[in-house]
Amino acid sequence: MMQVLEQAFTPALSLKTTAAGGRSSRAEVWETETADGSCLAVESVHPMPDVFLAEETLRERLMQEISLVRGIGPEREKMCRRRGIQTLDDLRRTNWKAEANETAGIIRNGSPKEIIRLFTNKGRGADPLLTGFGAVVPRDDLLFFDIETLGMVHSPIILFGCGVCDGENLRVTQYLLRNIGEELPALELVADIMRNHPVLVTYNGRSFDLPFTNNRLAYYGERECRPNLHFDLLHPSRRLFRADLPDCCLGTVEEYVLGCGREDDLPGYLVPVYYQRYLRTGNPEPLKEIVDHNRSDVTSLALLLAKQTEMMYGNS
């Protein structure tokens, strides 16, 4: 039976497929080995949207956030702006001089982590402005990440989607379990990718994808993954789009904001049903629907990062 399955996987998963945004690519499928076993790798290549932002542009824009200074709320900010105070530098001639200087120093010279911490301490950790740091870091550091599970807490992860920049392309590698026993080698492969691409981009990944992955690593006694930076695009999407959309599910944002709704996409809640059907019948055809759904999630992350950056910083 296993030999028959091996022969069936490649034609089932390597058909020409279309990810979010209408970008077609033919997937390549192979078995990849680790010291603890093997799993399937499914790889496709897609155009990478332009997510570059000059760091100087980002820092100059953040210098306008005078409400980062303690004591300047919305009303006082309006009053300051009416008086011509537009940047943290302008606050130097006011009673907020000391804290304004300190805040300006962090924004001008601090690391992305330090600036994000500054915003977080002010209750603005989900500010869409911070997404711009995802367009400032080296492109090779970015990892667009999404997982598929069997839908229950502590259940195995059946598919890992990892998108990395490769020149002007986004190379999406998906690690697929042919059986539950292949979860550990897939986890090891993903952990290695995270070490080499330490800036994570997800959608609800701060609450779901990353902790779920770390829980599964811990289950096998492996070290958890800690990205240097993590941009969860769900939270800035809520800030930017919630008032105008029925909800902020990724599919909804794709349709209304990115203009690339999916046709015949497998709903996420059916992923466990399709995978269980594969396990029950041995027919790998249902896996293609799962792989296509996950691939679209990953490619949409790159599109959404570019879109949010453009909305907050223009085409700089």
As a whole number, the mean pLDDT across the chain is: 91
Number of structural domains the chain divides into: 2
Q: Which of 123, 116, 98 is nearest to 58 (CA)?
A: 116
pLDDT of residue 260: 84
Q: How confident is the model at residue 295 (pLDDT cuts 50, 70, 90)?
A: very high
Same domain? 142 vs 124:
no
Instruction: Tell whether the model's pLDDT for residue 270 goes beyond 70.
Output: yes
CA dist 20 and 257 (Å) reads 13
Same domain? 161 vs 113:
no
CA dist 316 and 311 (Å) reads 11
- Tens digits of per-residue pLDDT, 75-93? 999 999 999 999 999 998 8
- Tens digits of per-residue pLDDT, 89-146? 999 889 999 999 999 999 999 999 999 999 999 999 999 999 999 999 999 999 999 9
- Tens digits of per-residue pLDDT, 5-53? 455 666 667 655 555 555 556 789 999 999 999 999 999 999 999 888 9
Same domain? 92 vs 234:
no
Domain extent at residue 212 = 2-52+136-313
Contacts 24+ apart (CB under 8 A), 240-249: 240/128, 240/308, 240/311
- Listed in sequence order, the residues at least 6 apart from 33 whose beta carbon sits closer than 8 Å to its beta carbon are 185
CB neighbourhood size of 289 (10 A): 18
Same domain? 263 vs 195:
yes
Bridge partners of 43? 28, 173
Same domain? 252 vs 163:
yes
Give me the mean pLDDT over the 251-255 stretch: 93
Task: Write out the H or E segment, with its range, that includes residue 199.
Answer: strand 199-202
Same domain? 32 vs 161:
yes
The share of the chain scoring above pLDDT 70, in percent, equals 92
Same domain? 197 vs 295:
yes
CA dist 248 and 235 (Å) reads 9
End-of-domain residue from the set 112, 128, 144? 128
Q: Which CATH number characterizes residue 282's domain?
A: 3.30.420.10
pLDDT of residue 300: 95
Same domain? 63 vs 162:
no
- Burial (0-12, 13-18, 19+ Cβ within 10 Å), 196: exposed
Same domain? 152 vs 220:
yes
Question: Would you say the C-alpha torsion 174, 177, 182, 184 has a positive or negative sign?
Answer: positive
Give me the mean pLDDT over the 201-225 stretch: 97
pLDDT of residue 152: 82
Question: How does DSSP assign 236-252, residue by residue?
Answer: HHHHHHGGGSS---HHH
Same domain? 158 vs 219:
yes
Same domain? 304 vs 225:
yes
Give me the mean pLDDT over the 280-285 stretch: 92
Task: Write out the H or E segment, with its range, that includes residue 45.
Answer: strand 37-47
Q: Which amino acid is at 305?
A: L
End-of-domain residue from the set 128, 160, 186? 128
pLDDT of residue 132: 96
CA dist 205 and 192 (Å) reads 18
Same domain? 164 vs 42:
yes
CB distance 311 to 240 below 8 Å: yes
Q: Which of 143, 231, 230 is nearest to 189 (CA)?
A: 143
CA dist 229 and 199 (Å) reads 5
End-of-domain residue from the set 107, 128, 149? 128
